[in-house]
Each structure stands twice: as structure tokens, then as C-alpha cells.
Structure 1
Amino acid sequence: MSNSPTIIPVIAPPPAGFGAAPTFSPLYQQIKALITGSLQAGEWKPGELIPSEVELAARFKVSQGTVRKAIDELSAENLVVRRQGKGTFVATHHEVRAQFRFLRLMPDAGEAHQADNQIIEVKRQRAPADVARLLDIKPADAVIFIKRVQSFDGAPTILEELWLPGLIFRGLTAERLVEYKGPMYGLFETEFGTRMIRATEKIRAVHADHIATGLLNVSVDTPLLSVERVSFTYGDKPVEVRRGLYLTDRHHYQNELS
């Protein structure tokens, strides 16, 4: 019997990515990405009619069915709006249907309607560290800070603080916010070329502090909903941090899950 040691060959693992199966996105997803790129580049403005499915199919040299599937997903993501007999339009925050998409506070009785806004403060400042992290900017970068109260039927209901990247929203002033009568996201879309595409929210129950008591006309320790929202534009770029305190004695927070 041999006393020589048994030699076990060692096979080095292949380099990372070597031999990995390539990934391919379906054709309609590629067309969706191309259309989204055109939306982001401003080829078709918010509210404008985009080319028909036939025209887009010819442009991208694919079938009309492929384009239709891409448009279906863009519609489901609220990037475009289909109108029967008229065509497909770029979605806009100026549409009535879009004005409550990001505001989920609904009245217990009656129809939802736009709030009256009271601008408390607007200033340019350095981004707080936690806000900078959420906006993916440097803490030393400038942000526009907005503080406002939203009232429904004369009753203060929402106290909000917003932070917006100063580079994108340069020139946004309290005077402009006061004189503008439409939805705030409509102003951002029209005058600053920034459309909110989606948002994430964190919600928790809190008690009113001394600042909230004065602005919402409630007593200390009144239960409120604290809502932190980060809104994103094309390319999943964060462009707004919004923190609100919601009074829910006559409202409720409503969402749809699917």
C-alpha cells in the first residue's frame, strides 16, 4: 500500500459573470423603455397626444401588438392616459383624476376636493443630512424648504414640510406658490419640468406637538397621522421629501391594494 498522500485537484471558480446566461428583456419592455425615454426627454409634453400605435409600430419596426402591450404598462403606471376615440395622451398632474393620486386623505362624508393652502414659510437652505440621503444629494447641497397648512372647508387638516432639490427648483418662491391656484405638482410639472411619477410613503400614529397645535387648531396630544413621502420622477430619481401631519377627525387615509 502506498503511503503517498492523496492529491485532490482544486478547480478555481470561474471569474464573476463568466458563463452566466445572458438576460434579455421582452421586446415590449424594450419598446416601453424607448417610449419612456421620449417622455423623459420631453418629446411629447404633459397633456399632449402621442403618436398612434400604428405610427409607433412603424417607428420602432415592431408589431402593433407589441406597442399596445408597452402602452398598456405605461397606462397602468399612470405615465400615459388612454381616451376612447381620441388616442393616448401624456399624463399630467393638471387632470382632475390625477390631483388625488398622491393625496390619499379622503373625507368621511361628501366628495374629495382640493384644499386651500396657506404658505407658512419658503426658504433656500442646506439639506439636512436625513433629507439629503433620501434625495440622493450631498448634505451641503441646497434645497428649497416649504412649510404650509392645507385646509378643507375652512378647517386646517394637514401640516406639511417639503424639501426639493435647489438645483431643479431654482426660482421657486413663496409669491409664486401663493399666486398659483392649481395643484402644486402641476406647477412643478409646468414650470420646472419635473413630473412626479411615483412615491413611497411611511405612515405612523403620533401625538400633536406644540407647533402642530397652533397651526392645526388642536390640543396637545391630539392623535395625528404622520406621513413621510419620497416622490420620484423619470429614471427613479428622488425629487421631493414631504412630511405631513394629518388630522383625521373628519377624514380617513384611503389606499388601493392590488
Structure 2
Amino acid sequence: MPSSIPSTAESVPAADPATPAFSPLYQQIKGLILQSLQAGEWKPGESIPSEMELAARFRVSQGTVRKAIDELAAENLVVRRQGKGTFVATHAEQHVRYRFLKLVPDTGEREEGRAERAVLECRRVRASADVARTLQLRTGDSVVQVRRVLSFGGVPTILEDIWLPGNAFKGLTAEQMAGHQGPTYALFELAFGVRMVRAEEKIRAVAADGPQAALLALTPGAPLLSVERLSYTYNDVPMELRRGLYRTDSHHYRNDLS
């Protein structure tokens, strides 16, 4: 049933007792749109109703809806297309498809689309206390664990361990992970309806141990960049823990700050 705002033209929806009693009206409209996104009312890549339709649905002004959508667009949750409308953002979009991957070759030419993926394992396991805590699960809950190596130009460059909540990613296989030609996050959207909307990373320098060095064609003790990423879907629900080891002999980590 569609969300709506009661009575007067610019009235305020009932406050959640767990949150402060007041927030700007456009923020509340943004929250209602986010609820619809999370519920899957509009899928990644699909158009959402026009500002006029949303204004009528929520019984607020079109300007209030526009301000809410402006924030959603700034956060890469929706995409405006001139003359076509507003669409749910997707990792299949060319300009955002690899926005979480910051490893760039020293030549400066991005090469994410040419990654060769070798999936070493993809299995369901019981979440350790560490993984469960990070993904807000209970210790022992089912998770899908994936280990893979990404190579560029035949050179193994990234070793990744990935953990995903088992319920949300039921049926994920190594063949799916290896065979999908686009971004992995686009696969998650297409096959499982899970969209990663933001991520947090922790980075440190480490030395490769024996098994890691063998998988990355290095000598033990070679320097690596350790990147731990926690990715979230709507409303800050953690949906992926990814721990990657990056070779930096021909690549560097680049972040654009603004």
C-alpha cells in the first residue's frame, strides 16, 4: 500500500519514536521514497513516478519532492535523465559501474572491464563471530563465502574474500560469479535484487604470506595493500564484507575527494 502523508498540504508524517520528533519535510519524503526503493517497488534501472505524481501521492508540494530527489541523486541512489525522468540507479550504469573499485594502473588508463576472474571457491558456511558482527548477523548464521583472484592482462592483481548474508544470496554459485561479464554489484542487483548504495573502507599495508604470494604470483613478504570494504544496501543495512589484497607494483589506489 503506497505511503502517504495525512491531511494538510505540507503536513508531517508521524514521527518514529526512536528518532527526534522533527526533521525537515523533504527529508521525510526522502525517507518514504527510500522505503519504496528498499521494498523493491521500483527496481534498479526502472523509472520512478514523476515529481508531480509523487507530490500527489505524499500530498506535499512538487518543490518538496524535488528537494528530496535532489539528495537521492547526489547520493547516487537515483539518476535524472533529461527529458526522460528519474530512474533508480544501477551498477550497470556506465558512469557508476565500478565506482567502489579504486585500484588504477600506473598508466592511468582504467581497466576494470577487462578483469579476468578466477573464482577459487563459493560455498555456504556458518558465520564466524567476526563476520556475523560486521554483517549484523548472529554467530553461526548462514553466509556465502567467495574467494577469487582478479587478473589484468594475465597478471593476478587482486585476491578477494567476500562474505554475503545467506538468506539474501540464496543460490549464488561460482559459475554465476565467474560468468557474469559486468560488475559484480550489477549481478547482485539482477539476480538477487540487492543494490549496494554505499561502502566504507579500511586500508593498511601488509606483507604477503606464503599462500597469498602464491595466488598473486609474488614472493612471500612482498608488499600488498589490504582493503576491507563493508557495503550497504538501503537504510544502512550491511550486505557484503569484502577483504581484498591488492598488488601495487604496477597499480595504485586513487580516491577522488570533493
- If the length of structure 1 is used for normalisation, what is the TM-score? 0.88
* Distance in 1, Cα, partners of 2:137 & 2:205: 29
Cα displacement string for residues 230-257 of structure 1 (whole angstroms, at most 9, x for unaligned residues): 1111121111110000011221111122
Aligned pair count reads 237
2:79 pairs with 1:81? yes
Matched residue of 1:252: which SS? Answer: strand
Offset at residue 110 of structure 1 (A)? 4.3
Matched to 1:69, the amino acid is: K
2:179 is matched with 179
**Bigger CA radius of gyration:** 1
Q: Percent identity?
A: 65
Offset at residue 73 of structure 1 (A)? 0.5
* Distance in 1, Cα, partners of 2:146 & 2:214: 18
1:58 is matched with 56
Matched to 1:123, the amino acid is: R
**How do 1:34-183 residues align onto structure 2 when only pairs under 5 Å count?**
34-113=32-111, 114=113, 115-183=115-183
Matched to 1:116, the amino acid is: E
Matched to 2:225, the amino acid is: L
Matched to 1:204, the amino acid is: R
Cα displacement string for residues 18-65 of structure 1 (whole angstroms, at most 9, x for unaligned residues): xxxx63110100110111111111111110111111221122121111
Matched to 1:24, the amino acid is: F
Offset at residue 152 of structure 1 (A)? 1.4
2:251 is matched with 251
Matched residue of 2:95: which SS? Answer: helix
Matched residue of 2:118: which SS? Answer: strand
**How do 1:177-216 residues align onto structure 2 when only pairs under 5 Å count?**
177-216=177-216
* Distance in 2, Cα, partners of 1:208 & 1:96: 34
Runs of 4+ displaced beyond 3 Å: none
Matched to 2:247, the amino acid is: L
Offset at residue 116 of structure 1 (A)? 1.4
1:29 is matched with 27
2:14 is matched with none
Cα displacement string for residues 124-153 of structure 1 (whole angstroms, at most 9, x for unaligned residues): 111111111101111111111100001112
Offset at residue 161 of structure 1 (A)? 0.3
Structure 2, unaligned runs of 5 or more: 1-19
* Distance in 2, Cα, partners of 1:245 & 1:177: 19
Matched to 1:139, the amino acid is: T
Matched residue of 1:98: which SS? Answer: coil
* Distance in 1, Cα, partners of 2:206 & 2:46: 42
